[in-house]
């Protein structure tokens, strides 16, 4: 529901997935270990939930509950054979069909699979999905390798935005060398009508992400899953301000990694590490813009 001033909130990055149906045991174990560290680092402020192999479960009921503060939500799975993640796109389509006013489903296809292009056709034409989630670090593909580019070309033809996990991650099987934000530069230039979001401000390569967002009109970023590293987060936001890209930062939770409530609280506390100093602060107006305004240029259908 819009607030008293008629302002709406959009969460542009959430997942459905649960163990053991979509998540391999090794991944679930490593996810739990990483969650414990984040909880410790955030003084318990990161999303709590369960502390077992089901820590990263996001089932439709839970997803619906935590999405309550948001007016519109983008939801997808992830298909990454190499790291043991496989969420069927049908689950996403079924869920968003129950909440068409609020939820928008995006596809995930694994570019390393021979039928990736057909899968994308199927997701758009049969399932009605409206965007594409990719994570080269999880899927073991080099985004600069031209053999994968027909997928981006197809996404542009269908006018599907791409949400990139272009940043680091925890699984031992991940390929971090394919997670660098600058690896998207040639793609962004070659497909100027392809709208793209780099998740998590590209952490820990926030500067690279920010300068790419600055030069490419079609590239945005989101602030999911960064608030529990308060020092990095504050620095990234100051950098974003200094390079003039705060209007291209989108609000997102990456649920089940965090919730939209956690992320908003994290943004409201972004200046905490430097309170009482002369170091630069992120003004409330910029925080408000990220929470209530920036989604409008990316999701005009919800204005």
Beta bridge partners, 132, equal: 107, 162
Q: Is 58 helix (H, G, I), strand (E, B) or coil?
A: strand
Exposed/middle/buried for residue 84 (C-beta within 10 Å: 0-12, 13-18, 19+): middle
CB 106 to Zn ion: min, Å: 11
57 binds Zn ion (CB under 5 A): no
CB 59 to Zn ion: min, Å: 16
| Whole-Å CA distances, 218 to 174, 197, 212, 215, 295 | 27, 8, 10, 9, 14
CB 251 to Zn ion: min, Å: 14
Q: Which is nearer to Zn ion, 226 or 282 (CB)?
A: 226
Q: Please identify, among the stretches 103-111, 148-156, 253-261, 264-272, the one whose residues bind Zn ion according to the rule CB under 5 A.
A: 253-261
Q: Which is nearer to Zn ion, 57 or 254 (CB)?
A: 254
254 binds Zn ion (CB under 5 A): yes
Q: Please identify, among the stretches 23-31, 190-198, 201-209, 246-254, the one whose residues bind Zn ion according to the rule CB under 5 A.
A: 246-254
DSSP-derived secondary structure for 261-277: HHHHHHHHTTTGGGTTS
Q: What is the number of the residue whose Cβ is closest to Zn ion?
A: 254
Q: Which is nearer to Zn ion, 16 or 194 (CB)?
A: 16
CB 269 to Zn ion: min, Å: 22
Q: Which of 75, 137, 74 is nearest to 111 (CA)?
A: 137
Count the site residues for Zn ion by CB under 5 A. Answer: 1
11 binds Zn ion (CB under 5 A): no
CB 39 to Zn ion: min, Å: 19
The C-alpha R_g of the chain, in whole angstroms, comes to: 18
User: From CA 282, how far away is CA 122, in angstroms rounded?
Assistant: 43
Q: Which is nearer to Zn ion, 208 or 254 (CB)?
A: 254
CB 284 to Zn ion: min, Å: 28
208 binds Zn ion (CB under 5 A): no
Q: Please identify, among the stretches 36-44, 207-215, 249-257, 278-286, the one whose residues bind Zn ion according to the rule CB under 5 A.
A: 249-257
Whether the CA torsion 95, 78, 24, 172 is positive or negative: it is negative
| Whole-Å CA distances, 213 to 43, 103, 127, 195, 240 | 31, 26, 31, 11, 9
Half-sphere exposure of residue 231, counting CA atoms within 13 Å on the CB side?
1
Binding footprint of Zn ion on the chain (CB under 5 A): 254
């Amino acid at each position: 529901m819009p607030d008293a001033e008629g302002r709406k909130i959009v969460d542009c990055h959430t997942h459905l997935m649960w163990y053991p149906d979509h998540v391999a045991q090794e991944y679930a174990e490593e996810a739990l270990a990483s969650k414990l560290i984040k909880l410790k680092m955030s003084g318990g402020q990161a999303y709590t939930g369960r502390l077992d192999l089901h820590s990263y479960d996001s089932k439709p009921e839970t997803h619906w509950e935590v999405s309550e503060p948001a007016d519109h939500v983008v939801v997808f799975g992830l298909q990454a054979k190499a790291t043991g993640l496989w969420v069927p796109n049908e689950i996403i389509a079924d869920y968003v069909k129950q909440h068409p006013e609020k939820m928008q489903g995006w596809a995930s296809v694994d570019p390393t699979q021979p039928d990736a292009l057909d899968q994308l056709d199927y997701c758009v034409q049969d399932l009605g999905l409206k965007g594409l989630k990719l994570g080269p670090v999880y899927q073991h593909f080099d985004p600069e390798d031209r053999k994968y580019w027909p997928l981006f070309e197809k996404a542009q033809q269908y006018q599907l935005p791409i949400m990139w996990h272009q940043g680091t991650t925890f699984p031992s099987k991940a390929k971090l060398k394919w997670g660098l934000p600058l690896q998207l530069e040639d793609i962004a230039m070659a497909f100027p009508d392809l709208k793209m979001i780099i998740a998590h401000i590209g952490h820990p390569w926030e500067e690279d992400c920010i300068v790419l967002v600055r030069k490419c009109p079609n590239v945005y970023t989101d602030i999911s899953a960064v608030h529990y590293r308060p020092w990095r987060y504050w620095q990234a936001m100051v950098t974003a301000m200094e390079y003039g890209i705060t209007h291209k930062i989108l609000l997102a939770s990456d649920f089940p990694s965090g919730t939209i409530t956690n992320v908003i609280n994290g943004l409201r506390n972004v200046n905490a590490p430097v309170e009482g100093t002369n170091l630069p602060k992120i003004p409330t107006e910029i925080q408000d813009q990220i929470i209530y305004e920036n989604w409008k240029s990316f999701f005009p259908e919800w204005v």
